[in-house]
Amino acid sequence: MSQYYKNSRLNDDYLSIDSIMASQERVTSTFRTKIRNLGFLDIGSDARDLEVGVKMELPYWLAAFLCNKRRQIVEVETPKQYRAGQREILNADPVVVDLHKLGPHFYKFGSLFLSFQIPESLNISRCLLETFQGRFKHIMDISQNCLNEDLSKVKSKLDECEKVIFALGQDSLKDFQNWQTRESAKLKASKMIIQQRKRKRNELD
């Protein structure tokens, strides 16, 4: 039951932890309107107000609220990982790029960023799609063919969303093996109990 629920986290929704984490990524924004009495948000200066032209790293949720069709309080810059230079690298060979380093929520933040409707939007969305397509086969391949091996090196290059896909692949492989050895029919202790035991054992050591 829980697994299906957790998988729905791949989609964006209001109550999703990953979506909240992705919308916390920073966007460089420049203020186009003066904001009174909130100067303390800009840690570098002592001014009382946020003046026109002040540049700040705002979290996505705030930037998106202040920059849309109706309000133009700030102006945003495209984050480095989605600019033309990086896009070319991703185009050349998506598989070798360390997406975790480019922001653990590469795809999610990317698609959120598209809501700003900047001229580059079309290129960015195409790049996101092609990167995903290019990497998907590789991810599926390793998740289906490696069991009982140290995969931390491979996994450390994956974006959060890819990690979910990878884990799903591994789980289905394990489920299949368990089914073959008739393990799946056995009753198991609750996950929380198992976790707790491990923790207690660690404390004892």
Partner 1 sequence: MFGEKALELIKELKRCGDGLLPSFNEETVRQVLEEMKSLFEENHKDVTASSEGEQGLFPGVQLRHAALERNKRILLTYLNERATSIAELRWQMGTVLPPDIRSRLAEHELSWLQKYNKSLTAYMRAVGADITHNLKPPKSLLIEVRCTTEHGSIELTSGRTLHLSRGTHHFLERSECEPLIARGIVEEI
| Residue 38 interacting with partner 1 (CB under 8 A) | yes
| Residue 6 interacting with partner 1 (CB under 8 A) | yes
Provide DSSP, 79-133.
Answer: -GGGSHHHHHHHHH-GGGS-TTTT-TTHHHHHHHHGGG--TTHHHHHHHHHHHHH
Alpha-carbon separation of residue 12 from 121, 158, 161 (angstroms): 19, 19, 11
Residue 52 or residue 147: which is nearer to partner 1 going by CB? 52
- Contact with partner 1 (CB under 8 A) among 35, 140, 146, 173: 35
Rounded Cα gap, residues 160 and 25, in angstroms: 13
Among 95, 81, 159, which residue's Cα sits nearest to residue 124? 81
| Residue 192 interacting with partner 1 (CB under 8 A) | yes
Residue 22 or residue 124: which is nearer to partner 1 going by CB? 22
Residue 17 or residue 204: which is nearer to partner 1 going by CB? 17
Rounded Cα gap, residues 167 and 175, in angstroms: 12
| Residue 204 interacting with partner 1 (CB under 8 A) | no
User: What backbone phi and psi angles, to 5 degrees, belong to 74?
Assistant: -125, 165
| Residue 140 interacting with partner 1 (CB under 8 A) | no
| Residue 122 interacting with partner 1 (CB under 8 A) | no
- Region binding partner 1 by CB under 8 A among candidate stretches 20-28, 79-87, 131-139, 150-158: 20-28
| Interface contacts to partner 1, rule CB under 8 A | 1-2, 5-6, 14-17, 20-21, 24, 33-38, 41, 58-59, 61-62, 65-66, 71, 73, 184-197
